[in-house]
Amino acid sequence: MPTLRSFRRPLRTLVIGSSGAIGGALVDLLADCPDVESILACSRTAQPQASLKATPRAMDILDEASIATALAGVERIDLAIVATGHLHASDGIQPEKSWRALDQAQLLQSFAINAVGPALVAKHVLPLLPREGKTVFAALSARVGSISDNNLGGWYGYRASKAALNQLIRTLAIELARQRPRALCIGLHPGTVDSTLSRPFQTGIADGKLFTPHFAAKRLLAVIDGLDTTSNGQLVAWDGSTIAP
């Protein structure tokens, strides 16, 4: 059972992308956490939740009005996790292996879902973080968004949009620190996790390196609980290590 002892308790939490593999596991774990009072579970289609602590709300992160509507009446969020993301389309469109595959619509879709959406969510959620005590706004990013770690190439849109997300997080973190000295705005790398997003790319993953969503979510909550403001603005991995930009 996860704990969130570094926060002022009980926590009011928000998970966006609750229909996803990692987002759904985060909602389940937060529901089991005795330190958590409530979870606002947002996904494009509001989904019934097993726990009475969880309230489903519809939210499309590409539609700012729907972000505002989903958060209407919410007074306080202590921990928010954006677990949305896009790597490939269900219609068979795959991440670009070569510059020959670069396509305006595909690139714009990656940037819209992976960078612009989480930034607009931050615009509406950061003002809801209390000014006192530890609070966290986290967005799931990816190690491949690290420019210094890019030795393989490929996946242009996903890589570039996650790099943009990491820069947005860093910029939001600097502004946030001026108003809320104990707040954190961070990116999280969950490891390689079994999900719809990763499924076409799972061949060749070494034994033990493909995490279940439950394991990844549990690690991410433990990492979040252990962080202090020295990590503000950084991309932090499932094992607690910091990933260079």
Ligand X SMILES: NC(=O)c1ccc[n+]([C@@H]2O[C@H](COP(=O)([O-])OP(=O)(O)OC[C@H]3O[C@@H](n4cnc5c(N)ncnc54)[C@H](OP(=O)(O)O)[C@@H]3O)[C@@H](O)[C@H]2O)c1
Minimum CB distance to ligand X smaller for 182 or for 218: 218
Minimum CB distance to ligand X smaller for 38 or for 141: 141
Minimum CB distance to ligand X smaller for 17 or for 182: 17
Burial of 215 from C-beta contacts in 10 A (0-12 / 13-18 / 19+): middle
Minimal distance in Å, beta carbon 193 to ligand X?
4
| C-alpha span between 114 and 87 (Å, rounded) | 9
| C-alpha span between 18 and 81 (Å, rounded) | 10
Burial of 142 from C-beta contacts in 10 A (0-12 / 13-18 / 19+): buried
| C-alpha span between 175 and 162 (Å, rounded) | 20
Segment near ligand X (CB under 6 A), from 4-12, 13-21, 73-81, 232-240?
Answer: 13-21
Minimal distance in Å, beta carbon 201 to ligand X?
8
Count of helices and strands (H, E) across the chain: 6, 10
Does 190 sit near ligand X (CB under 6 A)?
Answer: yes
Minimal distance in Å, beta carbon 127 to ligand X?
20
| C-alpha span between 227 and 37 (Å, rounded) | 21
Does 192 sit near ligand X (CB under 6 A)?
Answer: yes
Write the CB contacts of 73 (distance below 8 Å, at least 6 apart in sequence): none
Whose CA is closest to 117, among 84, 77, 72, 94? 84
**Binding-site member from 8, 9, 44, 170 for ligand X (CB under 6 A):** 44
| C-alpha span between 111 and 160 (Å, rounded) | 8
Does 62 sit near ligand X (CB under 6 A)?
Answer: yes
3 state SS of 148 = coil
Does 19 sit near ligand X (CB under 6 A)?
Answer: yes
Does 84 sit near ligand X (CB under 6 A)?
Answer: yes
Minimum CB distance to ligand X smaller for 20 or for 157: 20
**Binding-site member from 11, 29, 31, 83 for ligand X (CB under 6 A):** 83
Minimum CB distance to ligand X smaller for 57 or for 182: 57
Binding map of ligand X across residues 94-123, x = CB under 6 A, - = no contact? -------------------x---x------
Does 56 sit near ligand X (CB under 6 A)?
Answer: no
Segment near ligand X (CB under 6 A), from 30-38, 48-56, 81-89, 229-237?
Answer: 81-89
Q: Which DSSP helix (H) or strand (E) runs through 162?
A: helix 156-179
Q: Footprint of ligand X on residues 136-175 (CB under 6 A)?
A: 140, 142
**Binding-site member from 193, 221, 236, 237 for ligand X (CB under 6 A):** 193
Amino acid residing at 53:
K
Whose CA is closest to 139, among 161, 121, 160, 158? 121
3 state SS of 39 = strand
Binding site for ligand X (CB under 6 A): 17, 19-23, 43-44, 60-62, 83-86, 113, 117, 140, 142, 189-190, 192-193, 195-198
